[in-house]
Amino acid sequence: MDAVEFLKEWDRMCKSNEKCKECDGYKLCTSEEGICSNCEELVKAVENWAKTHPVIILTEQQKTAIRGRIAEGYKWVVGWQFSNVVFSVEKPEQNENGGIGLRGRISYGDFLFFNFAKGNSIFYLPDLLGGEE
Question: For the chain, what are the domain ranges?
Answer: 3-52, 60-128
pTM of the model as a whole: 0.62
In angstroms, the CA 29 to CA 38 distance is 8
Helix axes 39-52, 3-16, angle to 10 degrees: 70
On average, the pLDDT of the chain sits at: 79
> What per-residue confidence (pLDDT) applies to 119?
73
Q: pLDDT digit string (tens) for 64-118?
A: 999 999 999 999 888 876 668 888 998 888 777 767 888 788 887 887 788 878 7
> What per-residue confidence (pLDDT) applies to 29?
67
Could you give the angle at the alpha carbon of 25 between the alpha carbons of 18 and 130, nearest 5°?
40
Q: Given a cut of 60, is residue 47 above it in pLDDT?
A: yes
In angstroms, the CA 16 to CA 7 distance is 14
